[in-house]
Structure 1
């Protein structure tokens, strides 16, 4: 059936078609709209509103992963002849070691050291970290050499106490101890000086200095009960012949010690020493 162009139905169909085409005008404008369009300026938001409304960006992961943690050791003994001993060790006094893997005690030893370094004709340079906390029994650290210097830096991040023996023949003995150290210090040298670092001096009580032997205490010996029973706190014993003895807090220092068998200082670049 043909419908004349001017009929009312044809006019109605054209009106609907125009209405549908006109609805395109209500769609969102393109994101690439012309810059010639007039846009009303807006006031930039304040810094506080940006901080509260925009989440903080997640920091990027480091490009280089950190070095793996050094494995902890216990009852480690290293002995060398005509060679130096240098290294870094983390000592965990709670770490169990098979009995058949432990070396025999020296004739004079009654307590097995948690770390023992011994050299003949060589220097000893060691950085030692105590892993356990203050609830554990104190760690025993020993370093001994002949014809060389001894330099030990000890840290105890969790507050474990320590018993340290350092000795040398024909070489300097330098000890770096944590600021938490509270306990007696004995020194013995036949030819050489004994020096405490300036930052440590106000905390040092000297009981005696006779015939090359000194007896000192770092901290308040009365408040901590020293001398009233079996002492299980910090102790430091330093001995040498023909060399100086120096005691520092960790992070302090000066030029590396000199002495026969002493090579480049292990800590020469550490902490700007």
Structure 2
């Protein structure tokens, strides 16, 4: 009975919540890609914004002839459009930063295991140092040093995330370097780069790959936090974090919609990514494969 319970707990969770998360995430991606086509306005084009319609409540009919379904913010920008354009930034930043962090972290971890000695010591001490500090602190230091900008916030998130991949990859690679195929590669005097990237790395990345979907959600949350604090995406670029921050000062005046709807969109994005990512991780985990 105990074995059956443990087996059931290890199986990937299926159900209406997961199905809804997949539909929601797919919807986010689709509307983000189609934002220029379906958004009522470009919220960062001054020619499309009517300042006299600032802080219009949800359901207001605008001067441009379209409905402000979620209202407008303090500058007269349509909140629906702000959300659609903000999704594009959030998804691009999170996916690109997670992919780059995985590439750098996996390469560093495998190199540490392959070369050993001082290379291993240096890389792993950097990993230990980074993982001992709060993630948000590292992100703040990185973005303050690098400055604002979409490319810089991607780099800051790469700095935050690479260490986790490096530690996991090194742990797997330490067992791989002792296997016969690695001895054969050394005896054949293959180039070091070929041994690492053609043989060792492909056999060491499986556990770390399952981490990528979770790290994407983590990156979305970090980007939104930095943008909310005014240290992330520049103010002339759309971002869900900055959209929430734009309405923060209006909450006490009853204009809740300026922060509420971008906040709900951000919550739904992070929740759907985490739920789908956890399902992907469980599905790829060899311990959960049906025998």
**Greater RCO between the two (CA within 8 Å, min separation 6)?**
2
TM-score by length of 1: 0.23
- For normalisation by structure 2, the TM-score amounts to 0.22
Structure with a larger share of its residues in helix: 2
Q: Which has the larger radius of gyration?
A: 1
Structure with a larger share of its residues in strand: 1
